[in-house]
Amino acid sequence: MSGANFSKKFIFNEKIDSDYLYSLYEDDYQYIEEIFQTTLAHFDEDYNSIRTAYESNNLLELKKAIHKIKPTFGFVGLPLVQHICKEFEDQCQRAGSSNDLKTEYQQIVTTLAASKDLIATEYNKLKEFNSNFL
């Protein structure tokens, strides 16, 4: 990290594993902004696939949809959410119907919605940071 950039360090929300993000992207805030932007651009489609699969009692598609969105959270520094997705994916494998997952499903969609809000907030902060300091 150059001395000039060292004093201009972006402070991520405490829910985001900034050490993990820095291990992936170092201090390339423009690239991190791009990752967050791409995540948001695809989020609603992936989220809706999860909802549609659950509502149509299609456990195979539900498992696929969760599997697809899962790595997204690692890319944006939310490994706990990634782990929650993995657990739900495993529960989909064992369930007989979507009704067996009612409680877990409510928890995962709530977690995903809150994660989207967090990602959007951090994206906007990153965008402002990058326009002011880079």
| Cα–Cα dist 29/22, whole Å | 9
| Cα–Cα dist 43/71, whole Å | 12
* Percentage of residues in the chain having pLDDT higher than 70: 94
Q: Considering the domain boundaries, does residue 89 fall inside one?
A: yes
Residue 106 sits in a domain of what CATH number?
Answer: 1.20.120.160
* pLDDT, tens digit (0-9, with 9 covering 90-100), for 20-36: 999 999 999 999 999 99
pLDDT at 7: 56
pLDDT band at 4 (very low <50, low <70, confident <90, very high): very low
> Is residue 95 scored above 80 in pLDDT?
yes
Q: What mean pLDDT is reported for the chain?
A: 94
Q: Considering the domain boundaries, does residue 6 fall inside one?
A: no
8 Å CB contact between 81 and 73: yes
> Residue 98 gets which letter from DSSP?
G
| Cα–Cα dist 83/86, whole Å | 5
| Cα–Cα dist 6/27, whole Å | 9
Show the domain range for 49.
16-133
pTM comes to 0.90
